Every structure is written in C-alpha cells, then in structure tokens.
Amino acid sequence: MTLQEKIGQMTLISANLAVTGPKVPGDYMAALREGRIGAVSVLFGAEQTREVQRVAVEETRLGIPLLFALDVIHGHRTVFPIPLAEAATFDPDLWERTARASALEATADGVNFNYAPMLDVSRDPRWGRIAEGPGEDPWLASRFAVAKVRGTQGDDIKKPENMAATAKHLAAYGAAQAGRDYHSVDISERTFLEVYMPPFKAAVDAGAVAIMPGFHDLAGVPMTANKEVLNDLVRDQWGFDGVMVSDYNAVTELLAHGAAGDMAEAAAAALKAGVDIDLMGDAYAQGLAEALERGLVSEADIDRAVRRILDLKEALGLFDQPFSRGNPDFLPPLQVKAHQNLAREAGKRSIVLLTNHDDILPLSAPPPQIAVIGPLADNPDEMLGPWSIVGKGEDMVSILEGIETAFPACEIAHAAGGAVRDAADGDIAAAVDVASRADLVILCLGEEAIMSGEAASRAELDLPGRQSELARTILDMKKPVIALLCSGRQLCCPWLFERADAVLATWFLGSEAGHAIGDVLSGRHNPSGRLPVSWPVDVGQIPIHYQPRPTGRHPNYQERYSSKYLDLPVEPQFPFGHGLSYTRFEVTEVVASPTEVGPGDEIVVQADVINRGERAGEETVLLFVHDPVASLARPVLELKGMAKAHLEAGQKTTLRMTLNTDDLAFLGHGLKPVLEPGDLHILVGPNADRSSLKEAFIRVRTGSA
C-alpha cells in the first residue's frame, strides 16, 4: 500500500448528512476512487451503499471495501425508547433484543459500523447526553454494555445481519464540568476507574470491536490524545485489539484544546495515543504525511493502525462478501411488525410511575370526558427523541392518538396550550377552556427532543417556556390531573409532584410512544419501570447520585454543623431505583450464605418477595452491598445484582442472586484490587432509599482479589 492509501484507510468522511460539525468538502467519490477514503458516515439505504461499495471494490487500485457507519443509538427505522428510558427497565434481555432489532434494520440499509452503544455514566442531568446513556450506576451500565454489544454484533460479527459495535465515549465524558457538553473533566483517578471505566471494560470483555474516545479533556489531556488511557490501559492492560475511531472532528480539535500546534502534531498525538480512524477531521489526511517526515510518527505506527482497520473489515466479512449487507430481504413484513411490537413493549416497560396519589391510576373506569392538554400531546415528531437519524415523525404514535385508542368510549378533547418553548396568552386560555369541560386532565409536558442529546446542556431543569404557567393554571381548577413528563433527563418541578394526582416519566419513547402510554394509563400494563438515576429536587443538588461516601458529619437537619443545605433537602426527589406499581410488593426476608467467605467463594443471596396488592405485576429487586469499615471510605451503597419476579396478587416467591468475592473487592491504596476482611452488609429492596432495604450480613476473611 502507498502512504496515501494507508492514510485513506484511516480517514472517515460524512457523505450526505452532517449533524455535529463541518460539512464534507468537495466530491468524496473522487477521493474514494483515489484510495483516500476508508469509511463513510451517514450513508444508508441498500441502493446507495451498494453503489458506493461497488466503486470502492471495483474502481480503486486495491479494491478494499468500505465501512459504512451510522449512529444507531436507539433504533433505526423502528425507534425504541432513548437509552436512559430503556435503562429504566433494568432488563438486559430487552436491551439485547432492541439492539438486535436495530442491527437487523440498519444492516438491511447497508450499515456495518454502529457508533453505539453510548456507555457514559452520568450524574448530572444538566448534561444533555445523559439521554443517550444508561444512567448513573457503573454496575447497571456494565450490564447495559454487554447486552448492547451482544445485540449489535450477534454471535458472529461476520454474518450480514450483524454490525460492529462502538463503545463510546471513553471515558468520563458524562462528568463534564457544570454539565456543559464538550467541557473539561477533572476528577480523581479513583473515580475515573471505579465509576466511569467499568462499562467500557465490560464492553471490551463482551467483544466490542471498536471504541470511540470522548471530545473532552481529562485533567488537561484531551481524550483523543490520551495515550496513558487509550493505549497503556485499554490496549495494553485490557488487551483491546480492535479499532479506535475519533469522535467527529476531534483530532483537529486538539489544536483548539491547545494540545497541538499544527495539524501534523494533532495527527501524531492521536495516532500515538491509539486512534486508528479520524472521523471527519481531515487531520490524518492533512497531517500524517508531514508528521512522518518530521519524525513525529513512524511508518510502523501507521501500519499498526491500518492493520487493525483491515482486520475489522475482514472480521465483518467485507473482503469475501462486500455486498452482503444492504439487503431489504432482511426485513419481511412480519419482522417489521415484530419490531413495532417490541417498541411498544420497550416503551411501556420504560415508563416510570413517579407519583400516584390516592391511586388515581390506572384508569380502569375512565371518566366520560378527558382533556389532553400540552404541547407534547399531539406532537409525534418529538417522540423520536434525540439521535434518531432515520426514524420519521409521521411514523410515530402521538400521545393523543395513544390515549384515543386506549379509551375509545371516552370523549377526548385536545388543546396544545402553546409550544414547548413559547405560548401566547390565548393558547393557555384555549387550553383552560377545553380543560374546564373535562372530568379529567392529562397534561403532556416536557422538552423538545432537540433539548436533549448532544450540544443540549441546560442550566435550569424546570419546564421550558410557559409550561409551568399552563400546568399551574390547570391545577388551580381543582380537577383530577395526570402529568406526563416527556424528556431526556430528570426535570426539577417539585410543585408538580406535590399537586398533580399522578406523574409519570414517559421520556422519549419512540415509534410506539402513544400506545405504550395508553397501555399504562389504562392498566393494560402495570408500570414496572425504575429510575436508573437519582431525581433531584433542584439543580442545587447536582451532581447527585446514590453512591456518596459517608462523611464525618452525616446530614442532620437538627444539627447546624452537619453536611446539609440550608435551603434544600439532601435527599433526592426520588431515589435511584424508584418506580411505583399498581400493586404493592414487599421483600419480607433476606438470607445470605455462607455467612463467612474468602477469596474465590460464591455468596448466594435469597430474598422472599410477596405481592400484597390486588393486581399482577413485575417487581425488580436490587442487591446492594456496603462495607462499613475499610482502609478507604466506601460508598454508602453499591449495586451488585438484580432480579425480577412476575407475581399474581397474593403470590410469593424466592429470588436468588449470586455474588463472587471478586464483586466485593475494591481499588485499595495504589489503585490495586483488594478484598479486605471484615463484616459486610448485604441489602436488598426496590430502590436506593436505605429505609426500603432488608439487610443481611456476611464476614469476609482476609485475602487479595
């Protein structure tokens, strides 16, 4: 290969749609024919990808096939709930099934390289990209990672219905200062390794073939050029031998970071760190040859990167069958219908019932007249959520349509009350007039889809526009009110939780949003979603999560000199794992055995669960541990397991969860894993509120993990 052809394999361009940065320059087909492009983003469709692949295979000197990359974050043509919503199901099997359906649809459109899963743990809902990830907990995010990699890559990545999974954005991108996207991250090495890296290690162990570093810098070192993390840790220590692809324009942005003085230095820094493919920055194309001439990189550095890229193309089967993807036959009508059904299942199971005063829900006997009010009621485009490139608004089921379908005998009236970010006095007055004639009001409030996701940080987390005014005016009418919150993050509106009769987090649920909501409101589905994040009362509590370390002065509202606020509670509005049901579950007993363990031993935790309500339902039980005395202060709770029970009214079952003593180890002094002796608390229950948990104890014998 010539140097130009090698650098071409390392260059990824955006073909026909650029959503995060500069447009592609010039005629990329000419560059392709000259061997200067190895991968193409945002080109999909069987006919289009096959033709461009034909040019790569038949009209270039070497005939090396292309990677076709796309952000298939939460569905392709069928749109599933945003990842934060889907994480609320606490169900790895569902996560894998939706990834599998997405892979089938995307590969039918010729895509073979997915910029997903997004695995950034985030504890700051001001950061818009919290919508794209699995929430605040590293253990849950690690399970999410494994499921999404399996669903995307299948049992054999070479099969035409499978595509490459890219674990992104390594790592700690979700800890951007002040929740401001692309901003610096400055955290301890311990927090980096304990909180933000585990999902990426899980993805690597599950066989993810690609990794994308984040835009951010970590303590002054841009991640795109962070050799210590990308190469020394991920490649050398973890054994990752796949492809690393930069984020959009991130190599060129090393100049803006102040980490490189010119394009050659930027290209050299990224390549030396382990980045194989330059996504839309043109830095490798412009700078690598000069970097080689100046001795900043060696040809061996370039060869290593190219070899990894070619190995990935070989693993995908592209050399043998370059046109195997891009086959509409992958998706017969029955398969498409199955994906719609799956979207409905995922949607209704992602909904979290936050409050339900006086058990107003479900609407088993709905009133004759229902008013559906709010800017998101009849707005199917917004149900797409952020990062839905291929899905179409006209294919989404609106909330209004779902409610009309769920309650066919009711008279349903609708008024928008204005737009999400703007409303005139007349808009609110019209909505009040419609509500005045109804027996029940369903308020559909929240964000526009574009207000979550990339470049969508928010300093305030209340309802945008005049929605608060609209909601308060409706609430003042003293009618029964159910509020639906459509958003990509937690919204701080404690007054709404207090005054509305019920509030549900309905997120952005995708293709079947309206039907999923109708299923829950009507009681056809008993809500089972749980918060994968702590829900703050106010932005003043952020960052917020359930894993703080104990302080020497625990919060005590009667003691001035304790760790508390003067003007806010310390506790969140709703804890991690919160989610109500139409029935009532109780964990009655927890037993851990054996009660004394040493290195390599397994612990079996059994929890008796009973449905004390009058309806069948699904209960998710979470297993936490706490090490009360250690050489380093440990978090007050750490999630280490979960189990589900489907119980009829009055039914009782025993759930069984297992731990290994490796699960009890932590990074000690020197950041090496240790298993320390002492008593350990095993806590089981529905959420991270300590008062809701049943407790057992084990003793750990001395040893090293």
Residues forming the active site: 247
Please say whether the beta carbons of 534 and 546 come within 8 A: yes
Closest CA to 576 of 93, 140, 92: 140
Q: How far apart are CA 60 and CA 170, in angstroms?
A: 34
Please say whether the beta carbons of 387 and 73 come within 8 A: yes
DSSP H or E stretch at residue 695: strand 694-700
- Describe the chain by its helix, strand, coil percentages, rounded to 5: 35, 20, 45
Q: How many residues does this entry show for the chain? A: 705
Q: Which two tokens stand for residue 703?
A: 């040893």
Chain center to CA of 240:
22
Please say whether the beta carbons of 181 and 457 come within 8 A: yes
Rounded-to-10 torsion of CA 71, 74, 78, 81: -150
Report residue 606: phi and psi, to 5°: -110, 135
Q: How far apart are CA 311 and CA 306, in angstroms?
A: 8
Q: How far apart are CA 136 and CA 534, in angstroms?
A: 8
Closest CA to 110 of 18, 41, 210: 41
Helix (H, G, I), strand (E, B) or coil at 273: helix
Q: How far apart are CA 504 and CA 347, in angstroms?
A: 13
Please say whether the beta carbons of 681 and 694 come within 8 A: no
Q: How far apart are CA 575 and CA 415, in angstroms?
A: 33
Please say whether the beta carbons of 622 and 640 come within 8 A: no
Cite the DSSP H helix spans in 1-121: 3-9, 28-33, 46-58, 83-87, 92-108
Closest CA to 458 of 576, 543, 539: 539
Q: How far apart are CA 276 and CA 210, in angstroms?
A: 10
Helix (H, G, I), strand (E, B) or coil at 411: strand
E strand intervals along 316-439: 352-356, 369-373, 411-415
Q: Mind giving me the DSSP string for 217-261?
A: EETTEEGGG-HIIIIIIIIIIT---SEEB--TTTTTTHHHHTS-S
Q: Are strands 440-446 and 585-593 parallel, antiparallel or unpaired?
A: unpaired
Cα distances from 39 to residues 10, 56, 110, 365, in angstroms, run: 8, 10, 13, 56
